[in-house]
Amino acid sequence: MKITDKQTNVYEAAMQHQKKAEGNQKKAADKNNDKKSVVEDKLTKSETVQKATYDKPAPVRDDNTIARLWEESNRAHEHLRELVIRLLERQGMSAERLKQEGPEVKIDEEARTELEALLGPEGELGVEKTSDRIVDFAIALSGGDREKAALLKDAIQKGFDEAEKALGELPEISKQTHARVMEKFDAWASGEEE
């Protein structure tokens, strides 16, 4: 039998079609094997893993610091009260008489020296120590939670506003104390404590 070109072309086309089909089957098998590999490579969580980090502890009010600051404040107030009483007694006056006669009190040198020490830079009622107590008290109340900074700052400001309202105008030392409180408080709130 003689093979013509036309028959050769048909035969070759059939062979190419068969090879192509075999190649497609092989590719499909490879894909199935890949899918099986992917399935086999999947991680199955079998046990609970403990968290490696810790949650931020809830702020706790620092009652010890609050009590200490309260005691310091009361001591300083009592010292000032005693100073005024002694000053009045040296002038032959009493608190009752002062209420009746009005504020005609002369500050003698002894009282002036004590007041300067009490209100001076190192004094218990001086700008630095008073501002420290106010800021420390606010921080202790918040438990050190900086998220409460705005609330605390507003409360401090209201306290100074009430004092000014009661006095008509804040004395210079109170204005300086107010400024230092706000500086120290802002430094704490921003994490840049002095």
When pLDDT is averaged across residues 131-160 and rounded to a whole number, the result is 91
State which H helix or E strand residue 7 sits in.
Answer: helix 5-41
* pLDDT range class, residue 1, cuts 50, 70, 90: very low
* pLDDT range class, residue 32, cuts 50, 70, 90: low
When pLDDT is averaged across residues 56-73 and rounded to a whole number, the result is 79
Confidence at residue 7, expressed as pLDDT on a 0 to 100 scale: 54
What does the domain layout of the chain look like in residue ranges? 63-189
User: What is the rounded CA–CA span in Å between residue 181 and residue 66?
Assistant: 17
User: What is the rounded CA–CA span in Å between residue 143 and residue 58?
Assistant: 8
Q: State if pTM tops 0.75.
A: no
- Residue 146 is classified by DSSP as G
Mean pLDDT, the chain, whole residue set = 77
Confidence at residue 175, expressed as pLDDT on a 0 to 100 scale: 94
**Is residue 100 predicted with pLDDT exceeding 80?**
no
* CA-closest candidate to residue 69, choices 125, 126, 128, 133: 133
**Is residue 180 predicted with pLDDT exceeding 90?**
yes
Q: Find all residues with CB under 8 Å of 138, minimum gap 6, and list them.
A: 152, 155, 156, 185
Summarised one tens digit per residue, pLDDT across range 107-135 is: 788 888 888 888 888 888 899 999 999 99
Check: CB of residue 62 under 8 Å from CB of residue 143: yes
